[in-house]
Structure formats: C-alpha cells, structure tokens
Structure 1
Amino acid sequence: MSTILLVFLSGSLGWLLWLVARNFVTTSPLDKIPGPKSASLLKGNLGQLLDRHGWDFIEHLGTRYNKVVRLTGLFGHTMLYVFDPKALHHIIIKDAEVYDLPEWSTDGANLTLGPGLLSVHGAHHRKQRKMLNPVFSIKHMRMMTPLFYNVAHKLRNGLEAQVGNGPTTVDILNWFGRTALELIGQGGLGYTLDPLDSPAHNEYGDAIKEFLPALFESSQFQPLLKYAKRIGSPAFRAAAMDWIPLPGFRRLKQVVMKMDSEARRIYELKKDNMQAGDQGLLKQVGEGKDIMSHLLRANMAAPEEDRLPEEEIVGQMSLLVMAGTDTTSNSLVQLMQLLSQYPKVQESLRAEIKQAQEQHGDDIPYDVLVSLPYMDAICRETLRLYPPPSFIFREAQKDIVMPLSEPITCMDGTVMNEIPVPAGTTVIVGILASNRNVEIWGDDVAEFKPERWLSPLPASVTEAHIPGVYSNLMTFNGGGRACIGFKFSQLEMKVVLSTIVSSFKISLSDEAEDIVWNVAAVRYPTVGKDSTKPEFPLRLEPIKV
C-alpha cells in the first residue's frame, strides 16, 4: 500500500504544480472585477465561502460589491460569484449547456450517488428528467396526499407521547428529520425508512443522514476530483482514498458504500414485488403509488431506446432520498423558529388551518391545502430568506460572454457592460444574494414579512425576470436543472405544518439564544457555535380541544 500512496502523491503533486503555474502565472480578463482578497494560497476564498460560520462573508458578497464578484478558488483559480438577474438568466436558462455542472461536481455525484440527475449532462440528463417528470406532477401529488398525512399523524402521536400535558422541550430537528426521511421513504421508494412510533432506525436512513455532513467535510478539496480521476485506474483510486490524510474522504467512502448496498437491496425487493403483479404491489408501503414504482412501470412501458438502465434507476434512488430529507426537515425547523419569534403570525396561521379543517376535515385535501393563502405566504417568505443551499456551482464549458442587467465598475475605473468568461471558469450562483437583492425586493428585504406575498409583488420583482422555477426566487434553481421535486417538498412541508400547528403551541426554548445556523450544502442548526451536532430544542404545548 505504501507504493500506491507514493504513486498517487507523486501524480497529484504533478497536477498541483501545473495548476499553480496555470492560475498564478497567467492573467485573466476577470482579474479587474472587484472582489475580496484571497485569504489563502491553497484555498483562496473557498475556506471563507465554505466555512460553516461564514454567513458574514456570504452576506458581504451580496451587499458590498457588484452583482458579479471575483473570488479566488483552489491554487489561485479565478471564480465568479453571480446574482445579476440577466446574467443568471443566461447561466440558468439561455446558455445552460455552457454553464453546466462542474466536472468535479458530476464526478463526485457519480462516485457517491451513481449515474443519476446530478451526474449526467445534455441529452442524457434530458432523457432521465423526461422519465421522472410525470411522477412529480400535480396529479400524482394529489394521490400522495393521504400517504403524507399518515406519516404526519405518526409524527403528531410521537410528539404527543413525549410532550404529555404541559409545555415540553423537544429536539424538533430530530423529529422532523425522521419525518422527512419517512415521507421520502414511503412517497419516494414505497419503503419504510423510519417508523416514527419506535426508536428503531434503518441502515439506509442512517447512511442518508450522514451523507451531507461527510460530503461537506471534504467539499473544499472536491474540485481536485477532475484531476485526481486521471491518475491510475478506478480500483487504484479507490484503494488510494484510504490513504489520503483527510478523514472526511474516508468517512464519505464508508457512507456511500452503505447507501449503495441498501439502495440495491430495496431496488431488487421492489422489482420482485412488481413482477408478482397486483399481489406484490399490495405488499409494498403505499401499494405501489410511490415515485420509484411509477418510474419502474413507466420505464418498462417505454420504447427500448428511451428506457433507463437499472444502474441509472438505482442512481436516482439515493439522490431522491438524500435531496428530499435535510432540505425539507431543516426548512420546516427554520419555519418553526420563525413562528416562535412571531406569535401573531403563528396565531393567524393556526386560525387559517382550523377554519379549513372545520370545512374539510383534519386531513385538508390537496387542492385546498396548497391554496391556503397565509400558509403559502409563510412558506414562500421562509424559503426566500433562508434557502437551504445558499449558493450552487457551475462551470463555463467554453469561452462565452456573460451579459449584465447593469454595468459594473472595475478596479481600474473602466466600466463593463458584459463579461468575457474564459472556459473553465467556476461560476457560483448566489441564491441567497439573489433572494435578498435589495434593488429587487426593497429596503425591507432582510425582514420576515409573509404579508408581502398577499398582494401583488412590486414591479421591481416581476420585471427582474429571476429565472428560478419558484416564486421569482432562486431557492429551487431554474431551467433544466431546477429541483425536480420542489412540489413534492412543498406538499410535505404544508402537510406537516397543518398537522403540527393545529395540535401544538410553539415557542422558543431556554436554549434559543444559543441556536446557530451553519453554512453547509443544506444549512443546519446547532446549539452553540462550537457544537457539531445538528439539533434544535423547541418548546411545544398541546392545544386542548
């Protein structure tokens, strides 16, 4: 193994020397764009951007500079942080195939999650998405609503058992994390990942919960993947990973192996049930109404040239569960915090839910639930202010000119109306900066004001033409890479919200002042800045009927 390590390190050193020479010796047309100084010869500004306590730096990018900011990446690589609306339209929609996912990102997704939506490009990506789109339709969401309520009732029962008769503090992040996992397990896979009514856990579910922390732990060095993959064979690189002195990589490898093993086991079980016909479907959770069952049926019915190979279907499974767990649960926790901080908002929301339940029953039907105006406004405002990912990465696949909605002044005093972007440039889409752009949303942009959604939006919002798929926001991205499951996530949030808010009064715990939200692939809370344990203590009190 020492020989493997020596060869790997020698090859890596050669690539690193080439990277340093390319980035520090050559000049770039982007050098005169204003931006913060590089903080590190090795990591540039990436250490600040990916620091879990780096909110000041991220907010600084959205307020001090132009809407296009120059940053420095690994070994002096020049990057652009962008939230100019016209530039975003070109990045996300018009020139989306040029500004594709970075090679290191798709390589990483392929290595960890398999050949799913995050690891394929062009026609291949469109083929996969075409197969998946029908299972995220409104028609299918209506069919999933009763299943979601069943899971929400289990959550309520579990909380009632823990809370008892008086105000009690619970770790609501743990409960919502388990609930989101079970929602995506039943709704996505037709499989129970967390029963909620017992402390038992599923190996697949446990691995999913570990994935994003392990991924983020090694994120600063992931851009090196596109160079490292050229060294030796796949078997050689897999062996070498155990010798890389970065615990995040080793931890990530262990998590990925567990996820892949469990995903394949569940896939084989589903395939056997489907081959057994109607009786097999009845054995499944949800009786075959889940996303993967629909995908398998659609795949079998499709013309041979349009079918997805089994490897790609398995690849969608872990992606679906991973993408649908922390994003939903952590957004719900953020929403609970806001309802605690704004009791009048909580009271108004509860009144709206209660009125709908009096008319339609405790399980509010899909069409009524998604149309509740105040609930919808609260969800939109929460996702505007606190998007789960604060930014996403893209990479220019060839030289291209990026247009701007307004000119920027460069460090030498010249003015640029458009930016020549060289091939290979990393482009960071500033989701949070776009959602909090004061020129678009107004001087109260940083305030939590659900009522802004209850009347027509200002012309500055609609005329900006933000390319996001959801509510003039970049929260769920846009174009061909928009979050395919955003309607699924919205329904999950609203079902859980209607169930919990109608059953409990929500208030902050004694530890509220110590709550810290951390920067990550999906933002998450801890108690105290030094803690690495995701948790959120919240006080619940049963509402007596």
Structure 2
Amino acid sequence: MSFVSHFQAYVNAISSDYARILQSLFIAALSVSLWSIIFRRRKVQGVSTIGELPGPPSPSWWKGNLKQLTDLKNGWDFHRALAEYGPAVKLNGFFRNKLFYTFDPQAMHHILVKDAASFYRLRLRSSTLLFGKGLLSTGGEHHRKQRKMLNPVFSIAHMRSMMPTFYDVVDQLETALSNRVQNGPTEIDLLGWMARTALELIGQSGFGYSFDNMVEDAPKHKYSIVVKDLVPALSRLRVERDFILPFALKFIPTRVFNLSYEHVPMESSSRSPRYGHLHAPTFRDEAVARQIGRGKDILSVLMKENLQADNEDKLDEDEIIGQMTTFIFAAMDTTSNGMSRILHLLSSHQDVQDKMRQEIIEVRKNRPGERLSYDELVALPYLDAVCRETLRLYPPVSSIDRRSSEDRVVPLSRPVRGKDGISEVTEVFIPKSTTVVISILNANRSTDLWGPDALEWKPERWLTPLPESIMESKVPGVYAHLMTFSGGGRSCIGFKFSQLEMKVVISMLVENFKFSLPPKKDIFWQMSGISSPVVVGGDGHARLPLMVELAK
C-alpha cells in the first residue's frame, strides 16, 4: 500500500473517530438545550419572552441590528423608528441572539435600581485597561464602597467651595477668546475650546494641577491630546472592544494586555493609551504633595476621607489613581460636548441666546464687578431651562448597556402590543446572559411622557409645571426626570459637578460673546459613543466651527 493510501486510511480513521465524538457531543448538547427550553417554558409560563415583542427586521444574519443601533450617521433615525414600536422592543445581536431594548420607566427602574444586582455593566474588565480600578471598572460591593468614599467629594457644600477655581479657569477662557475676536467676528472651533476648558476645570478643581494655560491656539500637554482622541479611537475598535476583548480577557491576564498596549505597534491601539500610565507620576508626586491637608480639590478631599475611613472602607493607591483617570475622562468629554451642543443651539436660536444674555445682565446689575455665587447662578431660571432642555433632547450618551447575570422577569409600566398585533405584553422574561439596551435618547423623548412636542427643543417647557405624565412616571434618572445621567447605583456620581461647570462656562460666554452659525458650513452631530459634531463634507474630525464676536 502506498504512502498516500496509508495516509488516506489514517485520515479516514481519525475522521471517523471525530465524527463519533462530534455526534456524541451534538446529542448531549441537544439534550441539554431541550431540557433548558422545557425548563424555561415551565418557568416563564404566562410571561412573555423577548421573542414575542415587536421589533424591526434584522438586515444581517450575524450582526443583527447592531450596526443600525450604532450607525454614526443614521443611528438617530433608527432609534426614532424603534420608538414607534413602543417602550419594549426585540432586537437581534450577533448570530441573531435576542437583545432587549427598552425605555419603559418601570423596566428601567427594575434593571437599574430594584434588581440592579442581576444586571451588570458590560465591559468592566476591559474598562480596567483604560481607566484602572475606578468607578467605571468595578461592580457589586466593590463599586458601592468606592461610591461611598467619593460621595463627600460631590456634595453641594463642596461644589460651593469650588466656585473660585471655576471662575479662575473661565477668566482664562474669556481672555483667550477676547484676544481672538478683537478685530470682529471670527470663526473658532468651540468644541476644541470647550474640551480644553473642561480638562482645565477638572485639573485645577480635581487635582490642583494645570494642564493648559489657555493661551496658545492648541494645547501642548499630551493629556489634552490623548484624552480627546479616546472616544474616536474606541469607535474605530468597536467590534474588538465590545466582543473580542471581553472574550479574550476571560483567558489572558490583564497585565499581558497592558504590556501589549504599550509595546505592540498597532496603529489603533497606539491612539488609545492606558491613561493611568500617563497621569500617575504627576498627580501622585506633585499635586498630592502640594495640596493634601489644605487643598479643596477633589483629590485632597478624597485623600483626607480615605485617611479617616475604617480599614475595610479604605481605597488602595491603585483605586485612587483609577478614580482620577475616570474623572478626567467623564468630566472632559461628555461635559465639553454638552456645552458645545448648547452653543450650537444658541447659534441657531438667536432669540434664546438674547433672552439668556439679558437674564444674566439683569442679575449682574445688582452685583457690579462681583461674581455670582453658587446659589445665584443655579437659580437663574432661563439658563437652567436651556441646560435641562438640551440635556433632555440631546443627551451626550444615547444608550447604556446591561447584561443579565440570571433569569429575571422585568415588568412594564403599560402593556405593549406583541409582535402578533393582538396579545398584550405586561412583563418580559429576560434569560441569563441577555444584553439589555436602555435607550436614554428615547426615554428623554417619549411623547407619552413629555407630550406631542417632545421632539422639539423648547427651553420654555421648564418654566411651567411639567406634564403630570412625566411627574408620575417614576423615571429612575437622578436628574430632572431625565435618564441623561442614568439612574440607580451606577448613575453619574459627578452630575452636579457637570451641571455647575456648564452653567459657569455658558453664562460667561453668553454674557460676553455672541455666537452664530458659520457661512456655507453645515454641522452634523454623529451618534458616536459620545455624540460629536463634524462639518458635513469635511475631513470627518470632530469640531464645531462657530462665528464668535464680542457682545458688548
């Protein structure tokens, strides 16, 4: 018998063995699957499944609706179309796995508050690669311990103490813009300046550290550059970040990824560095040594609270560093984009801009040459209305994800018509390991809650009593009946800081400058992880060019 014949016989034998093994495994898997199906049918008898919910068709057998859900250009239209199905929708994920998409108040309360322990945040371990052991990277009791330690940092009393630092930074911004518009209206990228201002605010009020002197046309500190590049870099790596990386982290230690992040020459990964490595020497050695014991910045307060805490509540050094990294990202990108959105809207609505300016001028008449106090600033009704309405209609983050750690049943506030067009769904069975998408966008825009004009930008709606429907809805958000800052134990701990920052910056800008749209340039906001503006027909880089001139 020839070598080829021997080899063929060997292959046939091996193939036969494999066939028997695979057949046995298939039968075993089928048995387990059938048992699981029977068990679940018995367990959820009388309760609707995700498959019984209405939902759009799936354009791809392996990507499902995921591309539509996160499409930079057409994502807004897709989310608006999903709202037509009602507040509980079935979507398809990879390989037609069913996703539960909701903006129902009771469902959100159940997932984020009442039964939050059964719905964990996705990408906790992969977040550790970027932010260290901060709030974005921890869960369960560990997360609660960190929030307990951080709560005093974001108290109203501490916000009041930050006002002088906020005004110092805003003065730098006013000087920088004034120098650039002395000769008349000038086109300026306000997104860039809002990002620089937000980073400087968290730098000085957070760590007693200055990133930017706000003098040059472009920032020179490396942190200013890499932090702003983070979200675009993660958007380019969406599949790797959301699916490949979490799977790989189950088998490969985090320290291996840290080494590869710094030494493997990959173009995309080089644009999204691990920020903890960038900031640790500066903040630990300089700012802490200078501020601890007498400073009012976030880091000083956190360090003092940590020293006084019981041993079981103390945060270790890596956790404190992780909080700093988390604060920089959260305070810079979302807030700067939120302020940019306000300026874009004011440029399109000159009447609103004029009314806000007049409100600020009237208050300042009684306090010539003096700063507005914290209480005076937050009490300005029209400024507050513009901020609230912008964050309602245009939340920087459109949705958040959770995954069920066990089989659960989620109730709905009102029945949803099933996909058969006849049955009514009042509660939904969510199997273990199901991805849940909570739509912040549609929760904030629900016509059932906010009325028929919910899709209109109308700051005046906040100057009169809100509809009873929204007041009685029990939306679990921590801010103004909105989901913009999420809700429950993982809500944005710094939302008061963000609100104060917006009001301090926007009030100064509107009082001193007039903003208008640039000629022959259309601006479109992309549905990226944090929505960002681009010039239509431009190079695709995030920017917000507006015409700026002195208001006086």
Confirm or deny a common fold (TM above 0.5): yes
Could you tell me which residue of structure 2 aligns to residue 218 of structure 1? 237
Report how far residue 543 of structure 1 moved: 2.1
Report how far residue 417 of structure 1 moved: 1.2
**Secondary structure class of the residue paired with 1:535:** coil
Residue in structure 2 matching 1:281, options 291, 296, 299: 291
Change (3 A) 1:530 1:59: farther
Contact 1:169/1:539 (<8 A) preserved: yes
The one-letter code matched in structure 2 to 1:455 is T
Deviates more, 1:432-441 or 1:294-303: 294-303
**Secondary structure class of the residue paired with 1:477:** strand
Could you tell me which residue of structure 2 aligns to residue 35 of structure 1? 55
CA deviations over 1:223-281 (Å, ceiling 9, x no partner): 33332123344455567779999854x235xx323x222221123224761xxxxxx33
Could you tell me which residue of structure 2 aligns to residue 67 of structure 1? 87
Determine whether 1:331 maps to 2:352: no
CA deviations over 1:89-148 (Å, ceiling 9, x no partner): 11121111112212xx10121121111111111111111001101010110111101111
Report how far residue 155 of structure 1 moved: 0.6
The one-letter code matched in structure 1 to 2:224 is G
Report how far residue 363 of structure 1 moved: 2.2
The one-letter code matched in structure 2 to 1:94 is K
Could you tell me which residue of structure 1 aligns to residue 3 of structure 2? none
Superposition pairs of residues 100-139 of structure 1, within 5 angstroms: 100-102=120-122, 105-139=123-157
The one-letter code matched in structure 2 to 1:122 is G
Question: How many Å separate the matches in 2 of 1:327 and 1:304?
Answer: 34
Report how far residue 352 of structure 1 moved: 0.8
Contact 1:190/1:290 (<8 A) preserved: yes
Question: How many Å separate the matches in 1 of 2:262 and 2:538?
Answer: 28
Could you tell me which residue of structure 1 aligns to residue 396 of structure 2? 388
State the identity %.
44
**Secondary structure class of the residue paired with 2:196:** helix
RMSD: 2.4
**Secondary structure class of the residue paired with 1:411:** coil
CA deviations over 1:374-421 (Å, ceiling 9, x no partner): 110110001000000000101111111000111122223432211011
Contact 2:418/2:424 (<8 A) preserved: yes
Residue in structure 2 matching 1:423, options 427, 432, 445: 432
Superposition pairs of residues 169-248 of structure 1, within 5 angstroms: 169-198=187-216, 199-221=218-240, 222-234=242-254, 248=268
Question: How many Å separate the matches in 2 of 1:272 and 1:509?
Answer: 44
The one-letter code matched in structure 2 to 1:186 is Q
CA deviations over 1:157-204 (Å, ceiling 9, x no partner): 101111113111111111111111111111122211122123442122
Change (3 A) 1:242 1:136: closer
Question: How many Å separate the matches in 2 of 1:57 and 1:243?
Answer: 40
The one-letter code matched in structure 1 to 2:427 is E
Change (3 A) 1:399 1:493: same
Could you tell me which residue of structure 2 aligns to residue 451 of structure 1? 460
Gaps of 5+ in 2: 1-25, 41-48
Gaps of 5+ in 1: 1-17, 274-279
Could you tell me which residue of structure 2 aligns to residue 532 of structure 1? 540
Change (3 A) 1:191 1:398: same
Residue in structure 2 matching 1:147, options 165, 169, 172: 165
Report how far residue 297 of structure 1 moved: 1.4
Change (3 A) 1:459 1:516: same
Superposition pairs of residues 259-338 of structure 1, within 5 angstroms: 259-270=275-286, 273=289, 280-281=290-291, 288-338=295-345
Contact 1:335/1:382 (<8 A) preserved: yes
Question: How many Å separate the matches in 2 of 1:41 and 1:178?
Answer: 43
Question: How many Å separate the matches in 2 of 1:500 and 1:242?
Answer: 40
Question: How many Å separate the matches in 2 of 1:193 and 1:72?
Answer: 44
Contact 2:261/2:273 (<8 A) preserved: no
Contact 1:144/1:289 (<8 A) preserved: yes
In our comparison, the structure showing a higher alpha carbon Rg is 2
Change (3 A) 1:529 1:519: farther
Change (3 A) 1:233 1:129: closer
Contact 1:400/1:423 (<8 A) preserved: yes
**Secondary structure class of the residue paired with 1:496:** helix
Change (3 A) 1:374 1:237: closer
Contact 2:129/2:257 (<8 A) preserved: no
The one-letter code matched in structure 2 to 1:219 is R
Contact 2:516/2:546 (<8 A) preserved: yes
Q: What TM-score results when the alignment is normalised by the length of structure 1?
A: 0.88
Question: How many Å separate the matches in 2 of 1:247 and 1:231?
Answer: 24
The one-letter code matched in structure 1 to 2:246 is K
Contact 1:113/1:256 (<8 A) preserved: no
**Secondary structure class of the residue paired with 1:184:** helix
The one-letter code matched in structure 1 to 2:458 is K
Question: How many Å separate the matches in 2 of 1:70 and 1:245?
Answer: 40
Could you tell me which residue of structure 2 aligns to residue 277 of structure 1? none
Question: How many Å separate the matches in 1 of 2:537 and 2:450?
Answer: 31
Change (3 A) 1:172 1:353: same
Report how far residue 530 of structure 1 moved: 6.0
Contact 1:180/1:329 (<8 A) preserved: yes
Question: How many Å separate the matches in 1 of 2:516 and 2:370?
Answer: 23
The one-letter code matched in structure 2 to 1:70 is K
**Secondary structure class of the residue paired with 2:372:** coil
Question: How many Å separate the matches in 2 of 1:204 and 1:329?
Answer: 15
Question: How many Å separate the matches in 2 of 1:288 and 1:267?
Answer: 14
Could you tell me which residue of structure 2 aligns to residue 11 of structure 1? none
Superposition pairs of residues 247-266 of structure 1, within 5 angstroms: 248=268, 250-251=269-270, 255-257=272-274, 259-266=275-282
CA deviations over 1:283-337 (Å, ceiling 9, x no partner): x9xx722111111111112122211000111111111000111111111111111
The one-letter code matched in structure 2 to 1:256 is P
Change (3 A) 1:247 1:499: same
CA deviations over 1:5-29 (Å, ceiling 9, x no partner): xxxxxxxxxxxxx9xx99x999893
CA deviations over 1:24-78 (Å, ceiling 9, x no partner): 999893222211222223322111111211211122112x212111111223221
Contact 2:129/2:254 (<8 A) preserved: no
Could you tell me which residue of structure 2 aligns to residue 44 of structure 1? 64
Could you tell me which residue of structure 2 aligns to residue 373 of structure 1? 381
Contact 2:357/2:510 (<8 A) preserved: yes
The one-letter code matched in structure 1 to 2:317 is E
Aligned residues: 507
Change (3 A) 1:263 1:495: same
Change (3 A) 1:379 1:231: same
